[in-house]
Amino acid sequence: MTEIPFPTRPEMVPLDQTIVLVVDDDPSVRRLLSLAFTLEGFAVRSAADGEEALECARRERPAAVVLDAVMPGLGGIEACRLLRGEPDWEPVIVMLTGRTELVDRRAALESGADDYVVKPVRVVDVVARVKARLQKAAAPGTRRLLGSQRICQELKARSAEPMAIAFVEVRGLKQFVSRYSFARGDRLLDFVGELLLRLAGDRPGDLAARLGADQFLAVTTPEAVEGLTDRLVAAYAAQRPRFYDEADARRGWFEVTDRRGRMSRHRFLPLAVGVALNHPGPEQHHLELLERASEMARYARGHGPVAVDRRMVSRSPTLRTAPA
């Protein structure tokens, strides 16, 4: 079986075919995935490392990239970050990882991957993940969370305008996935992202973004931010029990047993929301607002679900108590 080569001319790809780029340093993995996607009607390109993947991606602009996390030279994590930095192009990216630790899976999502699959892979699962993501992205009226690159561009463009951002963290994810599964953790995080998209959709110009595995961002006006965060915290608290087993949901906590057999109890995953308000000025940098909101989210971890930074007006943060 021969590997499907790069095209020499763009017109080699029929207009009704969707391009998928498969990137892995293992030739057998590339061949199997290339064959599987070809049988599903995709036009397949392949690369053996991150540098080759970037060259092909910039030339072909594939709709989806299947990317191995660990490769010689430029690895998949860094390649994913670079791909997410490409202007006017947002492919579906599914990461292949041979590691099962939470930190490795978080690294995949934090680099900008939409999804990940643990090796050894079942090619049917990889194809199914890619098709599902492409169908969701192509659905009429579908809105997607912005990535870190796009949201930073938006913050810079709006830096001269009054603006408020809400930095949202889902706390306790490590214990949650230890008790349940990474898949259920992904569903909970997807719910938070979809909730932010709905809330941001209530006002023209509002934006929602995903910054990392368990971190999100909403951009709105100073007048609207309190209502947005209040609705976010209330809706999350109301829907959160459905992500737990029935017995755990009834009692309001769950148990986790570590590798040494020690048991610990944990309450439902709370949100920590930090809000920063923009007061434009000649010395104001657009990323300063993001850093202040992140700082407020850290403050909210121990003081309540929402903390608002008003230091441009007064010297101490304001706290709002709401359902955790």
Give residue-wise pLDDT tens across range 192-207: 999 999 998 878 889 9
The answer, yes or no, to whether residue 323 has pLDDT greater than 60, is: no
Q: Which parts of the chain fold into alpha helices (H)?
A: 27-39, 50-60, 76-84, 102-110, 123-138, 148-157, 173-179, 182-200, 225-239, 246-251, 286-303
The dihedral through the CA atoms of 55, 70, 144, 226 has a sign that is: negative
Spans of all domains in the chain:
10-138, 148-320
10-138: CATH number:
3.40.50.2300
pLDDT of 102 reads: 54
Q: Do domains 10-138 and 148-320 have the same CATH topology?
A: no
Using 50, 70 and 90 to split pLDDT, how confident is the model at 322?
very low
**161 or 61: whose pLDDT is higher?**
61
Question: In whole angstroms, what is the distance from residue 217 CA to residue 150 CA?
Answer: 12
pLDDT given for residue 287 in this prediction: 74
Radius of gyration from C-alpha coordinates of the chain: 21
Is the pLDDT reported for residue 45 higher than 80?
Answer: yes
**Which token pair is 311?**
């230091």
- pLDDT at position 61 is 92
Mean pLDDT within 285-307: 85
248-287 pLDDT, tens digit each: 999 888 888 877 788 888 889 999 999 998 876 655 566 7
For residues 226 and 107, the model is more confident at 226
Indicate the CATH number for domain 148-320.
3.30.70.270
Give the C-alpha separation, 124 to 220, whole Å: 41
Phi/psi at 264 (nearest 5 deg)? -135, 150
Taking residues 3-22, what's their average pLDDT? 55
